């Protein structure tokens, strides 16, 4: 219940510094102050997981745009009359032969 108390304390401090909480949000904050610490950790884990997925995607897109490496140009195709082109190898006879 120690974590639940710290949530209740944080809500009270927010009320002192930030003004008043809207009446629609009161049941939510009452639920948070009475929730179990394990439940709060699971909820915060998924919240952080969602935020990390969004920001890592944005960071990947920005990094890909900034550090893009252009692929090398493909080699020129050789023509049949090109002296650098070797003829294809002869076909190999089937293994085993006839007896």
For residue 13, what are its two tokens?
A: 């401090």
Query: What percentage of the chain carries pLDDT values higher than 70?
Result: 75
Q: What is the pTM of this model?
A: 0.47
Q: pLDDT tens, 32-52?
A: 778 888 888 899 999 999 999
For residue 93, what are its two tokens?
A: 């006879």
**Selected residue with higher pLDDT from 48 and 24:** 48
For residue 33, what are its two tokens?
A: 């102050």
Whole-number Å distance between alpha carbons of 11 and 32: 9
Looking at residue 54, what is its pLDDT? 97
DSSP 9-66: HHHHHHHHHH----GGGHHHHHHHHHS-HHHHHHHHHHHHHHHHHHHHHHHHHHHHHH
The domain segmentation of the chain, as residue ranges, is 1-35, 37-68
Q: Which DSSP helix (H) or strand (E) runs through 5?
A: helix 2-18
For residue 98, what are its two tokens?
A: 């006839």
Residues ≥6 apart with Cβ < 8 Å to 15: 21
């Amino acid at each position: 219940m120690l974590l639940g108390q710290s949530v209740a304390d944080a809500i009270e401090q927010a009320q002192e510094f930030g003004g008043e909480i809207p009446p629609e949000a009161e049941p939510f904050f009452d639920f948070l102050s009475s929730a179990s610490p394990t439940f709060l950790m699971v909820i915060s884990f998924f919240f952080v997981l969602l935020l990390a997925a969004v920001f890592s995607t944005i960071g990947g897109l920005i990094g890909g745009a900034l550090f893009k490496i252009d692929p090398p140009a493909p080699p020129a195709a050789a023509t049949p009359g090109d002296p650098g082109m070797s003829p294809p190898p002869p076909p190999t006879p089937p293994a085993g032969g006839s007896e």
